[in-house]
Homo-oligomer: A and B are copies of this chain.
Amino acid sequence: MERAPLAERLLQGQRGALARAITWAENGDARFARLLEAVYHKVGSSLRIGVTGPPGAGKSTLVNQLARHLRQAEKTVGILAVDPSSPYTGGALLGDRIRMEDRTLDPGVFIRSMASRGSHGGLARATVDAFDVMDAHGFDELIVETVGVGQAEYDVVGAADTVLVVLCPGAGDGVQAMKSGLLEVADVICINKADRPGADRMLADLSEAVHIRTAGKNVWETPVVSASAGQDKGVDGVLEAIGRHRAWMAEEGRLQASREKQRLEQVHRVLREGFDNEVWERSGLADSARAMIAASRTPHGAAERILEVLVASLPTSWPQSLEARTPEPQEPTP
């Protein structure tokens, strides 16, 4: 049976093609680069939301409601559920997903769970890649949800235009949020489960903390909104706050600058993976490091020496040498 190439089927909006493309992204499959090249002209129109927050804040429920409200507004929605701490919380998260997927047999919604493979930025790389193919596939809105608020989670939600941080009253979330770098990464803060005691105080405290941080500066003042996603309360308010952030991002070329920065970071991540796989493993470099270790050189001394040689052997003018060749898009066969 003849089948159209994966890129073509992806652009036609075929779900099976999208699922495979995301699997390639997830696994760092070598065929992904060619696929992306073939669909890249269609990448860029989806709006991207990143959702994070501590476990138990009700992120999945809120994402579910956001998707429902977006669907009511005739938007198609692609959701990526990413779990950096993988094996352990995998079970619970998958449980949520399955419940969620039951409710969304709607063809205008696509949900995909993505597990962590390896570390060193691989998950953030895979997230951006998955978003790009979901974008090419044609969703109006993309949402990535991840659990936690550490560096790995920030890297993941960094694939979005707007970062929504979900907290819930009690459990010291508010204080922790202020202490940690959370205010700096959040574009919108949602205090979920707002029927719980302490919600009003938390809202006031966080709003004040945001205001103090941003007053008098030409920066975005993160809105703090309340919701009870389980009771479908306040969800439109969250979407409205996201909308205001989008409007702000659209001014003065902020969105374009943010996306260029994201793409630059993606080059860096792909390059890092390439360095690990090709340069470190295949160029004899690991063997050389092994020999230096055996000769009692410190790991730092060995790395310094390698870096010295590496830097010395770099071309003196990158841009010239790089622009000499034009890309030749090739269509991968699935």
Contacts and interface: CB of A to CB of B under 8 A. Distances in A.
A290 B264 contact: yes
Given A152-B119, A182-B87, A314-B313, A36 B306 contact: no
Contacts of A315: 309, 313
A148 B276 CA distance: 25
12 contacts: A33-B300, A85-B149, A86-B151, A87-B149, A90-B180, A119-B151, A260-B290, A268-B276, A284-B318, A288-B319, A305-B322, A313-B315
A3 interface: no
Contact of A317 (B33, B37, B270, B284): B284
A276 B270 CA distance: 12
A135 to B, nearest CB: 12
A260 B294 contact: yes
A176 B266 contact: no
Interface of A: 32-33, 36-37, 40, 54, 84-88, 90-91, 116, 118-121, 128, 148-152, 155, 172, 175-176, 179-182, 260, 263-264, 266-272, 274-276, 278-280, 283-294, 296-307, 309-311, 313-315, 317-319, 321-323, 325, 327
A201 to B, nearest CB: 18
A32 B298 CA distance: 11
A121 B315 CA distance: 28
Given A85-B148, A148-B85, A119 B155 contact: yes
B301 A37 contact: yes
Given A291-B323, A309-B315, A315-B313, A176 B279 contact: no
Contacts of A272: 120, 272, 275-276
Given A84-B152, A310-B314, 15 more contacts: A32-B300, A36-B300, A54-B88, A86-B150, A87-B179, A88-B180, A119-B119, A264-B289, A275-B310, A283-B314, A283-B318, A287-B319, A288-B322, A309-B321, A313-B314
Given A119-B152, A149-B85, A271-B303, A40 B298 contact: yes
Given A176-B87, A290-B260, A298-B36, A307 B271 contact: yes
Which are the 6 A-B pairs with shortest beta-carbon distances? A87-B180, A270-B303, A266-B299, A33-B300, A85-B150, A288-B318
